[in-house]
């Protein structure tokens, strides 16, 4: 089963909005989040805007339940 391009865009937009919401809730800037996660600020900008689907590694660095945060 193949996904339509629109479904990918919706998923990217949803993930990006969740990242933005969590970052703002934590009181962090895009630069602070990027630095803490080990990415460039432009990567965070692209993820939050929905133009880039964040990598699995990026998502794992943001998840407090991930073993790397213990």
Per-residue pLDDT tens over the stretch 8-57: 679 999 999 999 999 999 899 999 999 999 999 999 999 999 999 999 99
Residues 59-69 have pLDDT tens digits of 988 876 545 55
Buried b (16+ CB within 10 A) or exposed e, 43-58: bbbbbbebebbbeeeb
Question: Residue 7: pLDDT above 80?
Answer: no
Strand (E) positions, the chain? none
Q: What is the pLDDT of residue 69?
A: 53
> pTM for the full model?
0.81
Q: What is the pLDDT of residue 67?
A: 54
Q: What is the pLDDT of residue 62?
A: 85
**How far, in Å, CA of 33 to CA of 25, rounded?**
12
């Amino acid at each position: 089963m193949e996904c339509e391009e629109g479904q990918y865009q919706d998923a990217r937009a949803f993930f990006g909005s969740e990242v933005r919401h969590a970052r703002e809730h934590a009181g962090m800037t895009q630069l602070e989040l990027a630095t803490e996660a080990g990415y460039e600020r432009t990567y965070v900008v692209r993820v939050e805007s929905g133009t880039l689907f964040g990598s699995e590694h990026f998502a794992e660095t943001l998840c407090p339940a991930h073993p790397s945060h213990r």
